Amino acid sequence: MVHEKAEPMQEESLHKGPWHEEEDERLITFVKLLGSRRWDYVARVSGLKRSGKSCRLRWLNYLRPNLKHGHISADEEKIILQLHKRWGNKWSMIARRLPGRTDNEIKNYWRTYLRKKALIQEQENFQLGRDNGKQLSLFQEDGSSAQTYNGESYKPCEDILEAGNVSYDAVALSDYTLTSSPYQTRLSDWISEFPSDQSEIKSQEDSNSTDSCNCYPAWISQENDLWGCSGSLWNMD
């Protein structure tokens, strides 16, 4: 490994905008040579008139191996919805749970498609809430969970219920208990296995780095069964 103090790039000479094929090829060559770190150095040594930031972004979002470039599958969409409700706009965290997908891709997908879906869902729930004389607000304007019910905060579980095709109203009417049917009992058991504190979640995240994001934590892999997802997504290399 060469350790050389990187000179600052000449800002005014930097290329911006879309990458050309030759630039991609050159970047791939130099990343293979120098590794996907020290991006300023890679940018400078490669002769690409791009910033280190730009090189890093191009590599992470487009050039790195094992990226998927196709449409987001229904299974992946469910995961995104679930994790967004859990974590909010933590796109990089969500991306780590979806092998081959980038935070940018997920962020774009959310903004262009899922956010609308969430808003529609909100409107439907608002209508249902009005019909029942209750106000169940599940999403804020930005798409995040509002976590209120009749003006009171509650532990969010709508993500799980939506994923399992259980209506929000069913939860509202059962005072958020999930034990009245075998299916709900199963849900309840599953929820209870969720990491109970941030440190546990953190340790699971740490064991699933970007570079080795080929597995899921136990708590989410169980959703596969719950959702009846195809196995292919979960066994990705």
User: How many beta carbons lie within 10 A of that of residue 220, not counting itself?
Assistant: 16
CB 81 → DNA: shortest distance, Å?
Answer: 16
Q: What end-to-end distance do the CA atoms of the chain give, in Å?
A: 28
H runs (alpha helix) in 36-73: 39-46, 52-58
The answer to whether residue 61 forms part of the interface with DNA (CB under 7 A) is yes
Rule CB under 7 A: is residue 212 a binding residue for DNA? no
- Residues 94-123: x where in contact with DNA by CB under 7 A, - otherwise, as a string: ---------xxx-xxx-xxx----------
Closer CB to DNA, 129 or 217, in the complex:
217
The whole-angstrom distance between residue 173's C-alpha and the CA centroid of its chain comes to: 30
Q: What span, in angstroms and rounded, lies between the C-alpha atoms of 178 and 190?
A: 11
SS3 64: coil
Q: What is the size of the binding site for DNA (CB under 7 A)?
A: 37
3-state secondary structure of 154: coil
- Token pair 């066994």 is found at 235
96 CB contacts (<8 Å, ≥6 apart)?
A: 205, 208, 209, 210, 213
Minimum distance between the CB of residue 55 and DNA, rounded to whole angstroms? 8
Is 52 a binding residue for DNA by CB under 7 A? The answer is yes
Residue pointed to by tokens 């939506």: 162
Residue 105 or residue 223: which is nearer to DNA going by CB? 105
Stretch that binds DNA, among 48-56, 171-179, 195-203, 213-221 (CB under 7 A): 48-56
Q: Say which residues have a Cβ less than 8 Å from residue 237's Cβ, sequence separation at least 6.
A: 66, 214
- Residue 39 sits in the site that holds DNA (CB under 7 A): yes
Q: Please select the residue that binds DNA; options are 28, 45, 49, 62, rule is CB under 7 A.
A: 62
Per CB under 7 A, 145 contacts DNA: no
134 binds DNA per the rule CB under 7 A? no
Residue 108 or 207: the one with the smaller Cβ distance to DNA is 108
- Please answer whether residues 170 and 191 qualify as being in contact, where contact means their C-beta atoms are separated by less than 8 angstroms: no
By the criterion CB under 7 A, which residues form the site for DNA?
6, 8, 15-19, 37-41, 50, 52-54, 56-58, 61-62, 69, 89-93, 103-105, 107-109, 111-113, 210
